[in-house]
Amino acid sequence: MHEPLLDLRKLRYFLAVAERLHFGRAALDLRISQPALSRQVRQLEHDIGTDLFVRTSREVTLTPAGEQLLEDGRHLLAAARRAGERARRAAGQDRLTVGFMLGVQVDPLLAAFAAARPDVTVRLERLRWWNHGESLQDGRVDVAAIRLPVRSDEGLRMLTLDQERLVVALPAGHPLAGEASVPVGALSGEPVLRYADAGSAWNAFWTVDPRPDGTQPASGPEVRDMEEILAYVRAGRGVAFLPQPVTAAFRRPHIAYVPVSGVPPGTVVLAWPVTERSGPTRDFVEAVRAAGAG
Amino acid sequence: MHEPLLDLRKLRYFLAVAERLHFGRAALDLRISQPALSRQVRQLEHDIGTDLFVRTSREVTLTPAGEQLLEDGRHLLAAARRAGERARRAAGQDRLTVGFMLGVQVDPLLAAFAAARPDVTVRLERLRWWNHGESLQDGRVDVAAIRLPVRSDEGLRMLTLDQERLVVALPAGHPLAGEASVPVGALSGEPVLRYADAGSAWNAFWTVDPRPDGTQPASGPEVRDMEEILAYVRAGRGVAFLPQPVTAAFRRPHIAYVPVSGVPPGTVVLAWPVTERSGPTRDFVEAVRAAGAG
DNA sequence: GGGCATTGATGCCGGCAGGGCATCGATGGC
DNA sequence: GCCATCGATGCCCTGCCGGCATCAATGCCC
């Protein structure tokens, strides 16, 4: 009884492959494995009833059907996002969704807003560094407390909330693990763990590059998950930098977090789309601004 | 890592509810259970981030967001179907998908076509009485060997292929089970099993109504599945009419199939959309027509 | 006003799809 | 001719979807 209706998730996978003409790269970007992607695309081809790619082990090409679907699929996906956004928008002015990143304290913000607009119901949504832009743009969240950097093309307005000290994750046995703080230059020989598919801006963030003292980060293994980072660190395969507040969520035996000196702090901002969506959004920003001043 | 992207299956479910404002009816129409439907709609509401219905146990109403999504969703779903169709269409003229219903022999048709157009690759797709129209319209199949009736608004051209004798499924212990054939009038007292959500035309088909001898079919339990039919028949709870060729797929102990006399035969037709899609479609029809004449 | 029918929600379970890891096979490049 | 690249395949495991049974809320009717 199952419907062979077009599946937007598979369509999104297809588009990723079609735009890069490369399964491995597309899989990285989609944050799934290459085999999973291959299979999903195959299934899409079966659902539609025609091949979309010509695959050789050296090259991936679009079939005519693929070309057509690349064109239509982009519009379809955009229309789907718009539909969700418009529905949310129609829901009215008595609700507000606030995004936040791990470790960012939102309760003061919520308290300030609740005082100003007790009539508005607030929902919370956890964001990741790689999806905050999309979430704000398509209206899944109205306003979010996130870490810099943000891409300039994301169309966000921002208000600085806080500064976060940077710490380094070291294995407990590391010579520097006991220090009260460690200058970044002392870590220049250590390979730095990086997220596999971060853009250059986020890569710079994770590796603390450039560094005020001119030292260069050594490139370490690529990871895809915080637990992977911790496993590498514990094994002595590398170190990782992260904002101090997130460490609370990842206290582990054999892992030490040591504040890093000689680097600028990270910045937490309140961000919202330039295309202001709801009255509550503006009120939230204003309430936070006022509370910050007071 | 899961995407909260709009899911078209859930959207289709939502539309069914939104148009009927009734979960139970919509579930019947979608051929899933009411609990499953309720949950899918709930999940859609969670994905989008806002309620779509106001539910009381007496009435279901759309929220403003629901109204909006009803409007946009229809277009989105239509666009999705079109996208699939256009992709198939772009695939070119060297492939043809042939639909068929259970029990219809397609090999002569395929043989005739293979002789005429050996260059075309043929795919087969099994159709059901309740989805053949959609499949032909959105191009999932190019041409299909199906049973009448078809709805006149389905925009199909047709060519008669065959006539099928009607048989009745009886429990093996039934007094008429041993007969070589049974007049339809002899069955007028028996409750007739019917599909739960068939339109009136198909309902008439399953119940053999009206009957040439003027007898009236008695209404029996509604079923949703051929196996349910057989279970009912075996239990003596009712009888069911079906075209003789489909019985081959459902031979079972304790079930007897007896030809029915005094009723017109069923008709198998080759059907294709008036908006002729591919050259191969026309060639297929022509090959079948020619073979039928020969 | 109390039983009853209607209707959507919930608990529980089984099957399957989707994703991950390890590995294979094909294809160019050096 | 070896090797690197890259998509496909085998195997497993988890989570989701759907089904059945049942519950809870709400009008209706006598």
Is residue A82 less than 8 Å (CB to CB) from chain B? yes
Quote helix, strand, coil % in chain A, to nearest 5.
Answer: 45, 25, 35
Backbone angles phi, psi at A61, to 5 degrees: -125, 155
Name B168's bridge partners: B241, B258
Rounded Cα–Cα distance for residues B55 and B18 (Å): 12
Q: In A, which residues are within 8 Å of B68 by CB distance?
A: 86-87, 89-90
Q: In A, which residues are within 8 Å of B51 by CB distance?
A: 91
Nucleotide lying nearest to A24, CA to C1' measure: D6
The Cα-based distances of A63 to A58, B139, B149, B213, B263 in angstroms read 16, 18, 38, 58, 51
Query: Six-digit token pair at A52?
Result: 């979309």
Sign for the CA dihedral angle at B110, B116, B118, B122 comes to negative
Give the side-chain half-sphere CA count within 13 A for B229. Answer: 23
The reply to whether B24 Cβ lies less than 7 angstroms from strand C is yes
Largest CA distance in chain B: 65
The reply to whether B61 Cβ lies less than 7 angstroms from strand D is no
Rounded Cα–Cα distance for residues A133 and A188 (Å): 32
- In this prediction, residue A176 carries a pLDDT of 92
Residues in chain A: 294
The reply to whether B38 Cβ lies less than 7 angstroms from strand C is yes
Could you give the residue ranges of the DSSP H alpha helices within chain B? 8-20, 23-30, 34-48, 64-90, 107-116, 132-137, 200-207, 226-234, 279-293
Q: Considering only residues 230 to 269 of chain B, which have any Cβ-Cβ distance to chain A shorter than 8 Å?
A: none
Largest CA distance in chain A: 65
Pairing of strands A166-171, B60-62: unpaired
Rounded Cα–Cα distance for residues A206 and B119 (Å): 57
Q: Which residue has the tokens 């299909």?
A: B144
B50, B76, B83 member nearest A88 (Cβ): B50
Give the side-chain half-sphere CA count within 13 A for A294. Answer: 9
Name A269's bridge partners: A146, A160
pLDDT digits (tens, 9 = 90+) for B70-86: 999 999 998 998 898 88
Q: Domain map of chain A by residue range?
A: 8-87, 91-163+267-293, 166-264
Residue A226's Cβ-count burial label (10 Å; 0-12, 13-18, 19+) is middle
Rounded Cα–Cα distance for residues B270 and A82 (Å): 41
Rounded Cα–Cα distance for residues B67 and B64 (Å): 5
Is residue B66 less than 8 Å (CB to CB) from chain A? yes
The reply to whether B54 Cβ lies less than 7 angstroms from strand D is no
Quote helix, strand, coil % in chain B, to nearest 5.
Answer: 45, 25, 35
Q: Which residue has the tokens 């905050």?
A: A132
Q: List per-residue pLDDT tens for chain A, 294 residues long.
A: 445 788 999 999 999 999 989 998 899 888 888 999 999 999 899 888 888 998 887 888 899 889 999 999 999 998 998 898 888 888 877 888 899 998 899 999 999 999 999 888 888 888 888 888 888 888 888 999 999 888 877 789 999 999 999 999 999 989 999 899 999 989 888 888 888 777 778 888 888 888 888 888 887 777 777 877 888 888 888 899 999 999 988 888 889 999 999 899 999 999 999 887 668 999 999 999 998 744
A104 by DSSP, 3-state: which? coil
B32, B76, B90 member nearest A65 (Cβ): B90
Would the CB atoms of A63 and B91 count as touching at under 8 Å?
yes
In this structure, what DSSP letter does residue B134 have?
H
Q: Which residue has the tokens 């039928």?
A: B292
Contact B280, B135 (CB under 8 A): no
pLDDT digits (tens, 9 = 90+) for A264-290: 999 999 999 988 766 899 999 999 999
Helices (H) and strands (E) in chain B, counts: 9, 13
Q: Over the Cα atoms of chain A, what is R_g? A: 22
Contact B196, B223 (CB under 8 A): yes
The reply to whether B9 Cβ lies less than 7 angstroms from strand D is yes
Query: Six-digit token pair at A101?
Result: 């990143």
Other Cβ atoms less than 10 A from the Cβ of A134: the count is 16
Name A127's bridge partners: A101
Query: How long is the CA B58 to C1' D30 vector, in angstroms?
Result: 21
Would the CB atoms of B48 and A84 count as touching at under 8 Å?
yes
Q: Which CATH number is A8-87 given? A: 1.10.10.10
Backbone angles phi, psi at B115, to 5 degrees: -65, -40
In this structure, what DSSP letter does residue B175 have?
T
Q: Which CATH number is B166-264 given? A: 3.40.190.10
The reply to whether A4 Cβ lies less than 7 angstroms from strand D is no
Residues of chain B with pLDDT under 70: 1-3, 277-278, 293-294
Smallest CA-to-CA distance from B201 within B102, B132, B257 is with B132
Query: Six-digit token pair at A178?
Result: 């006991």
Backbone angles phi, psi at A193, to 5 degrees: -70, 140
Q: Which CATH number is A91-163+267-293 given? A: 3.40.190.10
Q: Considering only residues 5 to 64 of chain A, which have any Cβ-Cβ distance to chain B shorter than 8 Å?
A: 5-9, 12, 31-32, 47-52, 63-64
A48, A79, A87 member nearest B88 (Cβ): A48
Report the gap between the CA of B243 and the closest CA in chain A (Å): 22
